[in-house]
């Protein structure tokens, strides 16, 4: 559990796999699931695990089997997402912008490297992912790092982001800085693309974002580590279930139904 609390670079898919490992070893899965979902509010896979544990207990399904099926679902979802990304109809070559570090965005960059003329990378402070993101994305494309405050100074054709969570009330979560980036994209007419798997959708109301203390001009202030924003700011959702425009509650319901069916809970 301490590893979940201290991690500041890896994203929602890593949290899900680590949480399932903890769950498999827990004496009380229900208590462990509830504790884990409080570690990072807005990290929807942790909410999903709690729902899955509750559903399995209610239906009398053996939890170990559910965990194995969920791990298999994660693998398949990631592979299906890569196929969706590869088939996206995008204008190429084009300039892209992104923020923070996302495995799904890494897959996007690798799959569409021939489409990307340059990739502007925002820092997402106070996140700690920029260096890892520049190294990973830079293996495939020309990465141009820029300060978060300069996002309005560049004019990409596309903005691509991952998601840490999509909730039933139409709010999405991603690392801080995503909201102003998507708002900037809307303002300059850039198309915004969110790449994420269906296990990052939770059929629940969105929580308050997780907050951290940062030092700014000699003073400690508390700020969100994640942005909570309307999913209507996303033009295209590229998911393992296909491509959707302006994702909202309907996509959350479809994703939860797909998860339940795959786990034998539907």
Q: Residue 230 class from Cβ within 10 Å (0-12 exposed, 13-18 middle, 19+ buried)?
A: middle
What SS3 class is residue 165?
Answer: strand
Q: Give the model's confidence band at 56: pLDDT under 50 very low, under 70 low, under 90 confident, else very high.
A: very high
214/223 Cα distance (integer angstroms):
7
Band (25; pLDDT cuts 50, 70, 90): confident
pLDDT value at residue 9:
64
Q: Take residue 133 and report the two structure tokens written for it.
A: 């993101």
More confident residue, 5 or 140: 140
The parent domain of residue 139 ranges over 1-266
The residue assigned the tokens 């786990």 is 263
pLDDT at 1: 63
For all residues of the chain together, what is the average pLDDT? 92
pLDDT of residue 170: 95
pLDDT of 10 > 90? The answer is: no
Q: Read off the pLDDT band of 47 (50, 70, 90).
A: very high
Among 98-102, 125-129, 217-221, name the one with the lowest average pLDDT.
125-129
Higher pLDDT, 239 or 4: 239
Chain segment 243-260, per-residue pLDDT in tens: 999 887 889 999 999 999
Q: How many domains does one find in the chain?
A: 1
Residue 8: pLDDT band (50, 70, 90) is low
Has residue 13 got a pLDDT over 90? Answer: no
Average of per-residue pLDDT across 89-111: 96
Q: Which of 167, 198, 164, 202 is nearest to 77 (CA)?
A: 198
The whole-number average pLDDT for the span 184-196 is: 97
For residue 7, pLDDT over 70 is answered with: no
Percentage of the chain modeled with pLDDT above 70: 97
Mean pLDDT to the nearest integer, 169-173: 96
Mean pLDDT of 29-45: 90
Order across the sheet with 226-230: list the strands. 201-202, 165-167, 171-175, 226-230
What was the pLDDT predicted at 247? 83
Average pLDDT of the residues in 159-177: 96
The pair of three-digit structure tokens given for residue 101, joined into one six-digit string: 């570090």
Predicted pLDDT of residue 6:
66
**Do residues 207 and 191 lie in contact, with contact meaning Cβ atoms separated by under 8 Å?**
no
* CATH number, residue 251: 3.40.50.10470
Q: Does the pLDDT at position 137 exceed 90?
A: yes
Token pair, residue 230, equals: 């309307």
Q: How confident is the model at residue 15 (pLDDT cuts 50, 70, 90)?
A: confident
Question: Model confidence over 227-237: pLDDT tens digits?
Answer: 999 999 999 99
């Amino acid at each position: 559990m301490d590893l979940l609390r201290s991690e500041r670079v890896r994203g929602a898919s890593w949290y899900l796999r680590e949480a399932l490992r903890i769950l498999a070893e827990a004496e009380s899965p229900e208590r462990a699931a509830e504790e884990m979902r409080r570690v990072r509010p807005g990290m929807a896979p942790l909410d999903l695990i709690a729902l899955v544990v509750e559903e399995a207990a209610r239906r009398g399904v053996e939890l170990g089997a559910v965990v194995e099926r969920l791990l298999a679902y994660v693998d398949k979802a990631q592979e299906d997402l890569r196929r969706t990304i590869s088939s996206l109809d995008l204008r190429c070559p084009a300039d892209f912008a992104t923020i923070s570090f996302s495995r799904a965005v890494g897959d996007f960059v690798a799959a569409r490297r021939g489409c990307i003329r340059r990739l502007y990378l925002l820092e997402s402070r106070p996140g700690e992912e920029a260096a890892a993101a520049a190294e990973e994305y830079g293996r495939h494309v020309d990465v141009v790092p820029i300060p978060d405050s300069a996002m309005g100074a560049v004019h990409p054709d596309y903005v691509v982001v991952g998601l840490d969570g999509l909730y039933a009330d139409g709010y999405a979560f991603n690392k801080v800085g995503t909201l102003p980036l998507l708002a900037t994209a809307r303002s300059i007419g850039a198309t915004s693309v969110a790449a994420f798997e269906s296990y990052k959708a939770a059929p629940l109301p969105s929580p308050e974002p997780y907050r951290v203390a940062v030092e700014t001009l000699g003073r400690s202030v508390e700020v969100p580590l994640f942005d909570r924003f309307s999913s209507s700011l996303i033009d295209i959702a590229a998911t393992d279930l296909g491509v959707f425009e302006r994702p909202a509650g309907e996509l959350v319901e479809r994703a939860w139904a797909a998860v339940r069916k795959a786990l034998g809970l539907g």
